[in-house]
Amino acid sequence: MSELTVADATSRVYDSLKADNEDIDAHIAALKAALKREGLKEAVLDPERLVQNNRSGRKLLQAYFRQRGVKVSFASS
């Protein structure tokens, strides 16, 4: 399996979220590995690309990712 960039891994996370969280844990793990390889501390997600873009949805997503070792912040519009 080839190593993904953070952008590729993030794109796969968005696709998984749109597909009712299909294989989300595998995509989070790939994102975590890509962040580590690129020396980044957190993933920056675009809230406009989220399925549930409200405060509750964003906080739930952050908590879920944090439990899997990935810190998430959101890009400002």
pLDDT tens digits, one per residue of 53-77: 999 999 999 999 999 999 999 998 5
Q: What is the dihedral of CA 8, 77, 49, 36, to 10 degrees?
A: 30
According to the model, what pLDDT value does residue 77 have? 57
Cβ atoms of 58 and 74 closer than 8 Å = yes
pLDDT score for 12: 96
Give per-residue pLDDT as tens, 13-52. Answer: 999 999 999 999 999 999 999 999 999 999 999 999 998 8
